[in-house]
Structure 1
């Protein structure tokens, strides 16, 4: 029989004191109470854990091996549970390939949109690309130098899984005897055995010939045969004198530039993916940035000469301790640089910043006889088998930089040359959510384009609106997921769930209002209401007054924290909570208790930290003065630039100045008054540690003093015990 309640009996997880509770389904239920009163123990560790555990157990043994198995919570009985989804405050993904667009699946719809109605252009001359006929392809190939050897290939399989036994038989029956399979040419009478679950590329070898006026007729027949086999796409490989591939050309009956002779492959959704080789920038593999040796880290003090140690990695040699040489210089490296100086007529005693840029490049990037300091470091980083050397080079001399080829857009030039309403896919993902909604609202399309894209644009606009409704109208779709704050990541998951349209699900949320300006609170509550109205149950752990007052049902835990908590103080509606005399939450809601505003500080302000010309992201060239020795709050609506000012500019600039960090701060002119600071510490929402050996005592350093204290006891001294004896991390102390 269908239950309209979640019934829990005898919950004892963590500090819960054998509680019984009935929670209404399909309602917005808020669990509140003091920090440590057992809210998360009830919501996440009992209700969510059991809902997830039961769902996983209902799956087949094969499916269960891929899913995380949750432990059964300490509870006597739970009924009325639905499949549960937890939306917590943690980064969605640390993968640099994960963006807001990929997490919300909006990028998948954009790929589909561009594949269906995108207009391809030549990446070189920017002219709109039109399909090529077989005759145009032949004419293009006949322009190759006489005597050029070519192989005409027909790509029949591109990046698909399978063994393809039948395909090889069919190709043989059609009279073709060779195929290029995963980069190698094979006889089809004896094809290789392909792995079923691995992606493969298979192209039929249609013909091999040498360009000359007499082969035009044969070339035409081969091109037409190749186009028929692969639905309008052929690949032509030209061969050099040693028979290696000199050039690979792609021709298409679909898209080709008549001016430049550039053809682009079939336009499909995967063509726009930066996570697949078909669309990803070949230089950075779709990351938009590369880890490279940084010139400023190699020569940190340009006032020094090369002889005096301007080249940091070669003034303090990087090598294993076993082979460490004595003295500050290696004769080998010095002789190399002396040779460079002789060849280009400059002195190693000249300060580095007084050398011409050309001579600086000869030192750093080399010449015909010398690989350069940077080239040497990059080669050693790639080739060394020593983890010590690799780690030294990486931590001291390498830095993440925007990829020069794709300029941070992650995609190939030919992909970025495809436009929708005048914008390429990267330009759209670079817009804020608010601007993207406006763009799709006002987009001008032909009747045909409207008919094709109607459902896709409808889905994109709906998902963008969900993000706007949870107060995230300022973020961009191209932003990396790892850079999101905990609250932002949680609200993105919330918007994604609304977009999925699931019904009958139990959603468990962890303080969704954290980091949200009061202006956006109402919109978040409307979003939660929409999720509830779809037919879902929402269980929200929350302290926010507006959220508590908007709840259909409230569970107040307490009366204290830790051992003094874990009991149900109240369960019911807001009107009844306000009358409850035992509830501490009710006393604050009624105004009986409050937090008094402290008197204004009388402390004299003498020194300031000044940020000049801050213009990173949305900051408009602002100057900010922050008093030192005071408690300063920086506030504003979501997306106003608070984190950009404090973290991207101030924190990164101070770590660079104080600790010589490799962090590159956001765009600003200067930081004044930083000399009056000797430490900078950031306290953010990232987890403090995941190791099972860490606990509050070890993390805070208290455990060190406890171990010292026990080692000084008379009994410990008699036995010769040191502080290590009382450590659970070393042999002798641990169980």
Structure 2
């Protein structure tokens, strides 16, 4: 049988497995999702998909089956005989009072609805979990393609190898003379491309790894490896935050890749970069500032990095030279005995049966090289378990035995860098609650009372006082058909969001639109004598370094770091009370050293209020300022997934591994001054 090269592509119909369409996984019913509460009875809705009104017939049939087994329908699911539970889940021919018929279990019922949806979504989809395709075993290809062997291995077996193992396989491939003539050039090209991936620190990735599961740093290095292998010259490369999500060890490898591009005769322009190692490795540095927003926009420095350190105007130079930045915390917090979250037997992805404790009432940093398993442990297991235990709707957690200590937590909040809203309606003023208090002040003015205006009149999110031409957004959308839509200021309200009557009301000489146009700093000064409900959030926003934002600035225009600090500011303004676990994944992405310093201060303030902060971070500035460090590794992918060290930053720095080496430098333990941006 002769098989053409394109037939080995799972993206083409004649190569992909027909049962999973080349995806490698199919959706199948999951007993844990179908029966989430074992204490409920069938009558009370233990079988979650049959709680909906349209499935009333299925629920009644299930009750009849339970009764036919001589079991009370009110009995909790946990107490049902195993055979009965199997029938309810998977169905079979059963005897019901007066007749014998086939009972369709809930899992076949869900499968039938999935087939009827023909690839589209359907209401019961939330009860399905992706599992490897039984036909191809997750290999994505047809049986004919999987049967072809090279060097004793099929293409799916080779794709499942890590990059380093795949390179070893092709380097040691023994071919006959005729085969060597046909494929020698292809093998050389394969080896070169695999070597490029190893050079940028991605030797642990498997070739069949889905792109959506790659971290930001991994995806960017994959693209860089492709560019290095082109052997082109005379090109201009523009990169934006290429170190996002990278451990210091990975940054060193990235710098080597950038230098290789430069040495080949290319120009490498890093548009935005805050990492000290990349800045120090640059041939030329251009710095803008001195601050953000309207306080920035000036050229502070342009020249070699040696001159940057001695520049008095340069903010970055001050940090690099050690003139700025505060020292370490005066003390490390210690959790009370028994007050900790303990993850047992974590085996999701590359985690190798990890048992690890997260002390409560501390800033806990989780470190390790890219691909070590940090996000899997914290986000996919710890956060999801706590959220679901507290009644949240987080996705099912990754594979693990159990998580102990969840009863000690009252809330869990994942503070990421996603936008604070999906439209111009979400602003710093609305997210932090400032606008609610400001609307109350406007409603108390004499003119507002005379006109009968309530606080709702001054909301641009509801009819009454907003401009109806733009529905309170201040802009109108102009459809460009084959081009992206264009947003223009509303001609009716001039972008103010409100109608003329609402704008006729002023508070101390300012309209509501003029207040929203203020920066946070201006508003804090303007409302300095007003109630704490107004002053408090404004003060906190200034303290986290966001005084330059405008109160009415659309949330979609904020950077990831700005959005994250707005969320943290909103939390700081809440009343201290219920114990909250804050989960942050790479919070320093896109932040300058000055902003990192403020972020670390915010985290410690949250913990001082009786909460816990669990931070996944590669930034040694964050790690060295934490109370407790959990270091995973020692490498990435199959070489990771193990606990390398736990303890205070000083204890972790005294050990071995990539994090220990860089943490010693950050703490100044190896004769090198400590790094920047600490508490």
Assess same fold via TM > 0.5.
yes
Give me the whole-angstrom Cα distance separating, in 2, the residues matched to 1:421 and 1:384: 42
8 Å CA contact retained: 1:486, 1:685: no
How is 1:513-552 mapped onto 2 (pairs within 5 angstroms)?
A: 513-540=243-270, 541-552=272-283
2:624 corresponds in structure 1 to none
Give me the whole-angstrom Cα distance separating, in 1, the residues matched to 2:37 and 2:6: 47
8 Å CA contact retained: 1:366, 1:373: yes
1:447 corresponds in structure 2 to 177
Q: 1:604 to 1:347 in 2, by over 3 A?
A: closer
8 Å CA contact retained: 2:335, 2:360: no
1:481 corresponds in structure 2 to 211
1:404 has 2:105 as partner: no
Larger deviation: 702-711 or 506-515? 702-711
1:276 corresponds in structure 2 to 12
TM-score normalised by L of structure 1: 0.56
Larger deviation: 624-633 or 471-480? 471-480
1:597 corresponds in structure 2 to 328
2:104 corresponds in structure 1 to 371
Give me the whole-angstrom Cα distance separating, in 2, the residues matched to 1:405 and 1:598: 57
CA drift of 1:496 comes to: 2.3
1:318 has 2:43 as partner: no
CA drift of 1:310 comes to: 2.9
Q: 1:286 to 1:644 in 2, by over 3 A?
A: same
8 Å CA contact retained: 1:318, 1:392: no
Match of 2:25 among 289, 305, 321: 289
Larger deviation: 530-539 or 300-309? 300-309
2:3 corresponds in structure 1 to 267
Which secondary structure state, in structure 1, belongs to the residue aligned with residue 208 of structure 2? coil
Give me the whole-angstrom Cα distance separating, in 2, the residues matched to 1:466 and 1:651: 35
Give me the whole-angstrom Cα distance separating, in 2, the residues matched to 1:453 and 1:561: 56
Q: 1:408 to 1:731 in 2, by over 3 A?
A: farther
CA drift of 1:693 comes to: 4.2
8 Å CA contact retained: 2:67, 2:73: no
Give me the whole-angstrom Cα distance separating, in 2, the residues matched to 1:604 and 1:304: 37
Q: Give RMSD over aligned pairs.
A: 3.2
Larger deviation: 371-380 or 616-625? 371-380
1:626 corresponds in structure 2 to 358
Match of 2:61 among 336, 341, 359: 336
Match of 2:35 among 293, 299, 306: 299
Give me the whole-angstrom Cα distance separating, in 1, the residues matched to 2:41 and 2:61: 16
Match of 1:574 among 300, 305, 309: 305
CA drift of 1:550 comes to: 1.6
How is 1:116-135 mapped onto 2 (pairs within 5 angstroms)?
A: none
CA drift of 1:378 comes to: 4.5
Q: 1:543 to 1:305 in 2, by over 3 A?
A: closer
Structure 2 runs not aligned, ≥5 long: 94-101, 467-471, 473-496, 498-679
Q: 1:586 to 1:618 in 2, by over 3 A?
A: same
Q: 1:698 to 1:291 in 2, by over 3 A?
A: farther
CA drift of 1:659 comes to: 3.0
Measured against aligned partners, the alpha-carbon deviations of 1:441-486 in whole angstroms (never above 9, x if no partner) come to 2233323333222222222222222222222222222222222222
Measured against aligned partners, the alpha-carbon deviations of 1:4-54 in whole angstroms (never above 9, x if no partner) come to xxxxxxxxxxxxxxxxxxxxxxxxxxxxxxxxxxxxxxxxxxxxxxxxxxx
**Bigger relative CO (Cα 8 Å, ≥ 6 apart):** 1
Which secondary structure state, in structure 2, belongs to the residue aligned with residue 274 of structure 1? coil
Q: 1:721 to 1:496 in 2, by over 3 A?
A: farther
TM-score normalised by L of structure 2: 0.61
Measured against aligned partners, the alpha-carbon deviations of 1:349-397 in whole angstroms (never above 9, x if no partner) come to 6654555555434333333533333344444566589x9xx764334x3
Give me the whole-angstrom Cα distance separating, in 2, the residues matched to 1:378 and 1:672: 35
Max Rg structure: 1
Q: 1:452 to 1:357 in 2, by over 3 A?
A: farther
CA drift of 1:346 comes to: 6.7
Which secondary structure state, in structure 2, belongs to the residue aligned with residue 507 of structure 1? strand
Which secondary structure state, in structure 2, belongs to the residue aligned with residue 652 of structure 1? helix
Which secondary structure state, in structure 1, belongs to the residue aligned with residue 403 of structure 2? strand
Q: 1:702 to 1:302 in 2, by over 3 A?
A: same
Which secondary structure state, in structure 2, belongs to the residue aligned with residue 659 of structure 1? coil
Give me the whole-angstrom Cα distance separating, in 2, the residues matched to 1:517 and 1:363: 49
Q: 1:668 to 1:377 in 2, by over 3 A?
A: closer
1:467 corresponds in structure 2 to 197
Structure 1 runs not aligned, ≥5 long: 1-254, 256-265, 320-328
2:398 corresponds in structure 1 to 666
Measured against aligned partners, the alpha-carbon deviations of 1:251-301 in whole angstroms (never above 9, x if no partner) come to xxxx2xxxxxxxxxx512332222222122222212222233333322233
1:77 corresponds in structure 2 to none
1:52 corresponds in structure 2 to none
1:646 corresponds in structure 2 to 378
Which secondary structure state, in structure 2, belongs to the residue aligned with residue 399 of structure 1? strand
Give me the whole-angstrom Cα distance separating, in 2, the residues matched to 1:420 and 1:708: 75
Q: 1:604 to 1:293 in 2, by over 3 A?
A: closer
1:558 has 2:289 as partner: yes
2:164 corresponds in structure 1 to 434
Give me the whole-angstrom Cα distance separating, in 1, the residues matched to 2:454 and 2:160: 58
Measured against aligned partners, the alpha-carbon deviations of 1:233-266 in whole angstroms (never above 9, x if no partner) come to xxxxxxxxxxxxxxxxxxxxxx2xxxxxxxxxx5
8 Å CA contact retained: 1:486, 1:686: no
Q: Report the number of matched residues.
A: 456
Give me the whole-angstrom Cα distance separating, in 2, the residues matched to 1:288 and 1:635: 31
2:344 corresponds in structure 1 to 612
How is 1:253-264 mapped onto 2 (pairs within 5 angstroms)?
A: 255=1
Q: 1:304 to 1:401 in 2, by over 3 A?
A: same
Give me the whole-angstrom Cα distance separating, in 2, the residues matched to 1:583 and 1:554: 11
